[in-house]
Structure 1
Amino acid sequence: MTEISAIAAELRDRAGKGAARATRREGKVPGVIYGAKQTPICIAIDPRVIWAELHKPGFKTRLFDVDLGAGGKHRCLARDVQFHPVNDQPIHIDLMRVSADAVVHVKVPVHVANADKSPGVKRGGVVTIELHEVEVTCAPDVIPAEIVIDLAGLDIGASVHVNQLNLPAGVTPYHVGAAATVVTIAPPTVQRADAGEAPAAG
């Protein structure tokens, strides 16, 4: 089940760059809720709320129930956050409205587990993540927070491909070939010097 986070926001009366600048002067981050064949809604969010959510895992794979007070609640996915080029503060957020029967495309982060149980890693092999994210299509309530690849038992030269991923029911890869490599265990790039080799004379 996809994690759902509740956040509060305010309605903004106007769209446009001038209105967005005015929102920032008030200490808020302007944003928009769009999608589901409904009229886009301009919103403002406390930047501390955005930072708190950004620092949790799976920002773009979690669902958000955005509470606009009298404007109702909207279930959304975070699609984009724009940051100031100098101070890295969030300056705009895009949220896509989703319905229970929708099908969404989401990029899910890839992580590896049990590297300590990999014979290849124990022999000096290098774990290389070729795809740090895999785009999938699924219903909103089954979006995986992450794709975990188990390295236990894998030796040097082993590869894990898209068609070998353990995805939940109803989740399928999108825009990526079944044979695409996700993770490999490559041979060591530098051979260790013999332990008994004497250092070169200075």
Structure 2
Amino acid sequence: MSDFVLNATKRSDIGKGASRRLRREANMIPAVVYGGKEEAQSLTLNHNQVVRLLEEEAFYSSIITLDVEGATEEVLLKDLQRHPFKPKVLHMDLKRVVRGQEMNANAPLHFINEEDAPGVKEGGVVSHQVTSVEIICMPRNLPEYIEVDMGSIEMGGVVHLSDLTMPEGVRLAAFEQNQDNDASVANIVPPTVSASSDDEATEEAAEDEAPAAEEGGEE
């Protein structure tokens, strides 16, 4: 059994109206599980349990035990819809895990040793272009996260997908689709001058020029 257990009940009342009633009246979330040899199944999840689980970063990239009225199966979280401004989850998509078959999953990136990077010591700022990557692996090899070591990156330096050290049995989905898709993951850039600093510099320059102008007016 995985570290995460998600309880669910089967749902036969489907449609937008039914989903709204679930969310408003019962504090429940409509969901669907699909994949494998079984047909897709509409489900109902407890909103409070889902919110608690979503507070754990590992939940997003772990195999989850889905308990549907006593019957269990292994799934991955594939999609999550949130309310645009309320702290509410609107819908979840879950995909079945088939042991012995490769699967696609999202793995979060953990950036380490940023404070030791030469570029940061020179005053540079780390910029993250992506915070997770799509990977392909067997279920047993699914990593909780992938580390990105920034400790040797100079000012102006860039970390690309090809620079990532992948765990054993794990490969990047991006390279399966296009070998040249070596996107940037993170870089270190010089600090930008803030607008307030610019304003202060302009004011100081104006103050320096003011006495000269006044003196010229007295002549």
Q: Which TM-score band (shorter chain)?
A: 0.7 to 0.9
1:80 match: 79
The answer to whether structure 1 residue 36 and structure 2 residue 39 are counterparts is no
8 A contact 2:174–2:181 mirrored in 1: no
Q: Once the 2 structures are TM-superposed, how far is the Cα of residue 127 of structure 1 from its aligned partner?
A: 1.1
Amino acid at match of 1:56: E
2:142 match: 143
Structure 2 Cα separation of the partners of residues 61 and 137 of structure 1 = 12
2:94 match: 95
8 A contact 2:136–2:171 mirrored in 1: yes
8 A contact 2:112–2:148 mirrored in 1: yes
2:56 match: 56
Q: Once the 2 structures are TM-superposed, how far is the Cα of residue 14 of structure 1 from its aligned partner?
A: 3.6
The TM-score with structure 2 as length reference comes to 0.77
Amino acid at match of 1:94: D
Percent identity over the alignment is: 31
Of 156, 159, 184, 2:187 maps to 184
RMSD over aligned Cα atoms: 2.5
> Helix, strand or coil for the counterpart of 2:174?
coil
> Helix, strand or coil for the counterpart of 2:39?
strand
Q: Once the 2 structures are TM-superposed, how far is the Cα of residue 18 of structure 1 from its aligned partner?
A: 4.1
Structure 2 Cα separation of the partners of residues 58 and 41 of structure 1 = 25
Unaligned runs of at least 5 residues, structure 2: 198-203, 209-219
Structure 1 Cα separation of the partners of residues 129 and 82 of structure 2 = 27
- By relative contact order (CA 8 Å, sep 6+), the higher-ranking structure is 1
Structure 2 Cα separation of the partners of residues 28 and 140 of structure 1 = 29
The TM-score with structure 1 as length reference comes to 0.83
Structure 2 Cα separation of the partners of residues 106 and 134 of structure 1 = 8
Q: Once the 2 structures are TM-superposed, how far is the Cα of residue 178 of structure 1 from its aligned partner?
A: 5.7
Structure 1 Cα separation of the partners of residues 27 and 132 of structure 2 = 33
2:27 match: 27
Q: Which has the higher helix share?
A: 2
8 A contact 1:161–1:178 mirrored in 2: no
Amino acid at match of 1:175: A
- The structure number with the bigger radius of gyration is 2
Structure 2 Cα separation of the partners of residues 120 and 76 of structure 1 = 41
Q: Once the 2 structures are TM-superposed, how far is the Cα of residue 107 of structure 1 from its aligned partner?
A: 2.6
Structure 2 Cα separation of the partners of residues 182 and 60 of structure 1 = 20
Structure 2 Cα separation of the partners of residues 80 and 148 of structure 1 = 23
